[in-house]
């Protein structure tokens, strides 16, 4: 079915420059963008959203659904203490399906009402509750990937599988997830410290056999990197270790990459991997600031991520502004050869940058997925300068001032879900 | 009149540890806290706020009221470009009283509905519109200081006074402001680059004669500091220059102090000055991160500040979490001898730390000003973990997840204004 949306269209096709069409039309057929037009298209129903902003959806490349319930809590710790003291004990509770149902229902509701259209999500080691999470997100109308987390070492007993269990449960998980349409499984070794060599190799093989993408953590924290060095003495680097286990052969998301070296960037770009840049989490857990500008210069794919609940917000607009703020501090304090991200660049990363992991997504170019947000122009009610602002400025205002606002309407893969 | 408020009381009396009284009573007489009690006080009316959090008010030590209208806009520039391209031309418009009335009415409404109880605020060079701002904030029920900004050099013609005008207008401003009760004038040289030596000396003298506090900017940005070095070749440092002009002799607020040296800290502590730490602004304008922990170690007074509109949020709860996040990055990237701020410490700085500029304020100790917030426990509706959380955790949740929420009730100097 062909139809059009009318409003103030704004999107990015390439890094660093907005495309804007004031009072424009976005033409859609089924689940695909046909293009934009300044003129009213003929013989097509038009939904007129007035002065609202119409943008591509935002793509969250890394978040932990079970952690959403403690987003904004326990923020006085660094990564490894935070995992042991809070995260692992709380994730263990997802063995209880009643608890999981309550927590995941709240998560699915809030993700549905956010500006995220597709996401790549960690569950827990528990197959059943992770499948429940998948069905809840599918029912909410979202698209994306969810992984049953694999962990067979260095974790509390209540959150550890044997290697055999981890492998057999992963295969069963993938099989049982095949009934879903829009939410698909993704191979998810938590990170090297939580997975034995045998498990990592087995997961690499499963990803290859089943043609499934992979998500995991890379180079988040210096103590973690040192630990990986001890655990994998034969590897030249953390990324090299993942490469050896065959975990970079298909499509893969490497969350964080705060301390990734030039040599590791060679590995990531040779495998066409995605970095999930998680600025809020990297501040909260005192991890540091990822060299996003350098990834871009090197042609490494980058998307933005909330990393709930290392990150303390589920809002991808908040991640846009957090990524800009932290890039400014990195430029000032760490490396002034890498200029800060500009608003248009961070917006590109949150849309087409991360969207590319899901196919042609995150732009209004013809053939792209119809993932669309209709946003109230919040400047109209909030600042006397509103009548003088450009569409770009109105979008910047929205990102900084009203990042948690529910969109007026949201289309995911052509289907309106808000 | 004596009365009590019932709820979950939480406050800090000293750096680093919360005081908590679950289902406690806060006893108030007129505009003063009498103390807290676990038992119901006799013969006193009690307002029962159930499971709400009851905290001291938050004190915003530095913000620019005319800039509120562009908060969250123009964030791609550094300080000096940002001033020239956006801030100065927009501040010039406050010569127009109709425009000023519209912009300041919106600002006063939003500040009233925020968690800020008292503030130290910059207006513009315009006496009339700054007086209007004062009367609007007084009418809103807030307390604090507002300055007519003084500028007589290095500014666009439309935003520059002659030295004589600057001095005479400042005196007239102070005289005309004397009719107000809760909002008082404060001497406000913008910063050294905007003020000639004669003006700075005259303002120092006025502050002394009229016994008025001073607010200005210090050590925000490296290019600015270099400029001050050129402008004041006889001074050993930026702080030394303010000292020479007599601007540190009374109570004073030095906004930012990002790059303040040990020698300058000697000057600040010898004058018992306050640093207004503005973490959001210091990220947005790529300024850097102030050494807050070092100020605390040295006994320099520190309060938190939004610095609207270098800062992109009017929320002091957001400043609490921004100050924690940026202190973590400073620890990781710049100086690991200064541990990050913990939540209880940042809360102390936002309450009793900044409150001390206004007298005995920011705590529930007997004799403190009755500046009180009643906050909905947002964890109850937002996370399945709520029944298991401590009061401290509920407050942390509020700060990270719902920093922009309107308080249920707000008392300023004993008067309920929300």
pLDDT-based confidence at A77, cuts 50/70/90?
confident
- Domain termination site, one of A309, A338, A358: A358
pLDDT over threshold 90, residue A337: yes
All residues at 6 or more sequence positions from B388 whose CB lies less than 8 Å from its CB, including other chains: none
Flag if A312 and B76 touch (Cβ within 8 Å): no
Give the minimum alpha-carbon distance from B95 to chain A in angstroms, rounded to a whole number.
16
Flag if B396 and A73 touch (Cβ within 8 Å): yes
Whether residue B159 contacts residue B196, with contact meaning beta carbons closer than 8 Å, is answered with: no
Dump pLDDT digits (tens) for B200-221. Answer: 999 999 999 999 999 999 999 9
Percentage of chain B exceeding pLDDT 70: 100
Least confident of A75-89, A255-269, B56-70, B92-106: A75-89
Flag if A286 and B340 touch (Cβ within 8 Å): yes
Percentage of chain A exceeding pLDDT 70: 100
Q: Which two tokens stand for residue B52?
A: 């709400």
Dump pLDDT digits (tens) for B303-321. Answer: 999 999 999 999 999 999 9
Same domain? For B369 and B386 the reply is yes
pLDDT-based confidence at B78, cuts 50/70/90?
confident
Dump pLDDT digits (tens) for A84-142. Answer: 999 999 999 999 999 999 999 999 999 999 999 999 999 999 999 999 999 999 999 99
Residues 57-86 of B with CB under 8 A from A: 68-76
Dump pLDDT digits (tens) for B4-62. Answer: 999 999 999 999 999 999 999 999 999 999 999 999 999 999 999 999 999 999 999 99
- At residue A225, the pLDDT reads 98
Mean pLDDT throughout B233-248?
A: 97
Dump pLDDT digits (tens) for A171-225. Answer: 999 999 999 999 999 999 999 999 999 999 999 999 999 999 999 999 999 999 9
- At residue B4, the pLDDT reads 98
What is the chain B residue with the closest CA to A381?
Answer: B106
**CATH number for B173:** 3.20.20.140
**Model confidence, pTM:** 0.98
Same domain? For B70 and B182 the reply is yes
Q: Do you know the residue count of chain B?
A: 418
Interatomic CA distance for residues A25 and A17, integer angstroms:
20
Same domain? For A142 and A268 the reply is yes
- DSSP annotation of A339: P
Same domain? For B210 and B131 the reply is yes
Give the minimum alpha-carbon distance from B17 to chain A in angstroms, rounded to a whole number.
13
Give the minimum alpha-carbon distance from A395 to chain B in angstroms, rounded to a whole number.
9
Q: Which two tokens stand for residue A312?
A: 């303390």
Same domain? For B43 and B95 the reply is no
pLDDT-based confidence at A277, cuts 50/70/90?
very high
Q: Is B418's Cβ below 8 Å from some Cβ in A? A: no
Same domain? For B50 and B62 the reply is no
Mean pLDDT throughout A271-280?
A: 98
- At residue B365, the pLDDT reads 98
- Domain termination site, one of B325, B358, B391: B358
Query: How many beta carbons lie within 10 A of that of residue B45, not counting itself?
Result: 9
Considering CB atoms only, which of B70, B332, B343 is closest to A286?
A: B332
Flag if B312 and A71 touch (Cβ within 8 Å): no
Whether residue B224 contacts residue B256, with contact meaning beta carbons closer than 8 Å, is answered with: no
Same domain? For B205 and B321 the reply is yes
Number of domains making up chain B: 2
Give the minimum alpha-carbon distance from B385 to chain A in angstroms, rounded to a whole number.
6
Q: Is the ipTM of this complex over 0.90?
A: yes
pLDDT over threshold 90, residue A78: no
Least confident of A79-83, A337-341, B395-399: A79-83
**Residue A395 belongs to domain spanning:** 2-56+363-416
pLDDT-based confidence at A3, cuts 50/70/90?
very high
Of B292, B276, B270, residue with least CA distance to B186: B276
Same domain? For A118 and A220 the reply is yes
Mean pLDDT estimate for chain B: 97
Mean pLDDT estimate for chain A: 97
- At residue B363, the pLDDT reads 98
Q: Edge to edge, what strands does the sheet with A409-412 contain? A: A32-37, A17-29, A2-14, A46-56, A372-375, A409-412, A415-416
Same domain? For B216 and B248 the reply is yes
What is the chain A residue with the closest CA to B326?
Answer: A283
Flag if B400 and A333 touch (Cβ within 8 Å): no
Mutate to test the interface with B, among A384, A386, A395 (most CBs of B within 10 A): A384
- At residue A306, the pLDDT reads 98
Of A323, A309, A395, A377, residue with least CA distance to A51: A377
**CATH number for A38:** 2.30.40.10
Mean pLDDT throughout B113-119?
A: 98
- At residue B77, the pLDDT reads 86
Alpha helices in A124-221 (DSSP H): 127-140, 163-177, 197-210
Whether residue A38 contacts residue A21, with contact meaning beta carbons closer than 8 Å, is answered with: yes
Query: How many beta carbons lie within 10 A of that of residue B96, not counting itself?
Result: 13
Flag if B286 and A393 touch (Cβ within 8 Å): no
- Domain termination site, one of B358, B381, B402: B358
Same domain? For A246 and A191 the reply is yes
- At residue B215, the pLDDT reads 98
Same domain? For A78 and A176 the reply is yes
Going from the C-alpha of A2 to that of each of A5, A34, A44, A222, B337, the distances in angstroms are 11, 9, 6, 52, 62
Same domain? For A173 and A232 the reply is yes
Dump pLDDT digits (tens) for B357-398. Answer: 999 999 999 999 999 999 999 999 999 999 999 999 999 999
Residues 380-399 of B with CB under 8 A from A: 382-385, 389, 393, 396-397, 399
All residues at 6 or more sequence positions from A226 whose CB lies less than 8 Å from its CB, including other chains: none
Mutate to test the interface with A, among B65, B71, B72 (most CBs of A within 10 A): B72
């Amino acid at each position: 079915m062909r139809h059009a949306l009318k409003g103030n269209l704004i999107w990015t096709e390439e890094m660093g420059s907005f495309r804007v069409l004031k009072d424009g039309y976005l033409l859609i057929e089924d689940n695909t963008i046909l293009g934009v037009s300044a003129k009213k298209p003929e013989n097509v129903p038009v939904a007129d959203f007035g002065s609202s902003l119409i943008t591509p959806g935002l793509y969250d490349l890394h978040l932990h659904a079970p952690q959403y319930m403690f987003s904004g809590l326990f923020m006085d710790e660094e990564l490894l203490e935070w995992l042991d003291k809070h995260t692992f004990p709380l994730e263990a509770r997802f063995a209880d399906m009643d608890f999981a149902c309550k927590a995941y229902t709240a998560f699915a509701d809030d993700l549905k009402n956010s500006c995220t259209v597709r996401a790549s999500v960690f569950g827990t080691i528990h197959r059943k509750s992770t499948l429940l999470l998948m069905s809840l997100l599918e029912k909410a109308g979202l698209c994306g990937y969810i992984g049953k987390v694999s962990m067979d070492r260095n974790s509390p007993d209540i959150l550890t599988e044997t290697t055999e269990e981890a492998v057999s449960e992963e295969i069963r998980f993938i099989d049982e997830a095949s009934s879903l349409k829009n939410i698909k499984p993704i191979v998810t070794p938590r990170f090297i410290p939580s997975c034995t060599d045998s498990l990592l190799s087995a997961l690499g093989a499963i990803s290859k056999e089943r043609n499934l993408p992979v998500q995991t953590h890379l180079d988040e924290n210096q103590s973690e990197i040192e630990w990986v060095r001890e655990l994998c003495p034969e590897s030249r680097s953390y990324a090299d270790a993942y490469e050896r286990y065959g975990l970079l052969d298909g499509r893969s998301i490497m969350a964080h990459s705060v301390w990734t070296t030039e040599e590791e960037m060679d590995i990531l770009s040779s495998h066409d991997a995605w970095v999930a840049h998680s600025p809020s989490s990297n501040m909260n857990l005192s991890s540091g600031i990822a060299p996003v500008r350098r990834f871009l210069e090197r042609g490494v794919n980058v998307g933005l991520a909330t990393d709930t609940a290392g990150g303390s917000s589920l809002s991808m607009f908040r991640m846009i502004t957090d990524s800009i703020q932290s890039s400014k501090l990195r430029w000032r304090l760490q490396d002034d050869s890498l200029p800060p991200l500009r608003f248009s660049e961070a917006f590109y990363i949150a849309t087409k940058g991360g969207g590319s992991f899901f196919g042609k997504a995150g732009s209004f170019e013809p053939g792209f997925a119809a993932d669309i947000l209709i946003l109230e122009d919040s400047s109209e009610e909030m600042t006397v300068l509103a009548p003088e602002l450009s569409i770009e400025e109105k979008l910047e205002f929205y990102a900084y001032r009203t990042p948690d606002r529910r969109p007026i309407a949201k289309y995911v893969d052509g289907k309106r879900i808000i």
